[in-house]
Amino acid sequence: MVRQFNGVMKAAAFVLVLFLLIPLTGWSKEAVPVAENPEVEKRMLLLTENLRCLVCQNETIADSRADFSNDIRREIREQIKANKTDPEIIQFLVDRYGDFVLYDPPIKPTTFLLWFGPVILFVLGLGSLIVYLRRRRLQIEDVSLSQAQLEEAEALLNEDKKGKNV
């Protein structure tokens, strides 16, 4: 019986230690890839800080952990090793993915909606709200009571006051 109890205690101690160590796995950090060439990595990071991840859309390619961003970073490294200039690399990405890949796209006819779309929608919404409120104000009629209706209301109020005093 004592042997069985010792076995149960060892198993319970093992499970307890396991449960205590599980939260520590959340504190571990992702390993930063070791760069073959630190200068290539530095240049790649500078380029990717101004490029949008098309999967995440609210993160730069430098910050994103999506597979798409990993592929773009790899492609940029290859182009840097091929002695391409920064403008050539950016133009390659724009040709391939469009101006949306840039966090600061140029103002041209194809990007007017990106630049001015939110302002246009705001102005249209504000104009619609103003028109709606003006039309609604015109629909409201000022109701005036006739003398008979005023006397009836007065009588009801007086009757109510008398009922409360009793």
CATH number for the 36-106 domain, one of 3.40.47.10, 3.30.930.10, 1.10.8.640, 3.40.630.10?
A: 1.10.8.640
pLDDT at 132: 95
pLDDT at 143: 77
Residues 90/76, Cβ–Cβ less than 8 Å: no
Question: b/e for 130-164, b at 16 or more Cβ within 10 A?
Answer: eeeeeeeeeeeeeeeeeeeeeeeeeeeeeeeeeee
Beta bridge partners of 51: 102
Output Rg (C-alpha) for the chain, integer angstroms: 36
Give the pTM.
Answer: 0.52
Over the stretch 47-64, which tens digit does the pLDDT of each residue have? 999 898 888 878 888 888
Domain extent listing, the chain: 36-106, 113-165
Distance CA 104, CA 97 (A): 14
Beta bridge partners of 60: 52
Residues 51/99, Cβ–Cβ less than 8 Å: no
Lowest mean pLDDT segment, chosen from 29-43, 57-71, 117-131: 29-43
Distance CA 136, CA 129 (A): 10
Higher pLDDT, 79 or 30: 79
pLDDT class of 30 with cuts at 50, 70, 90: low
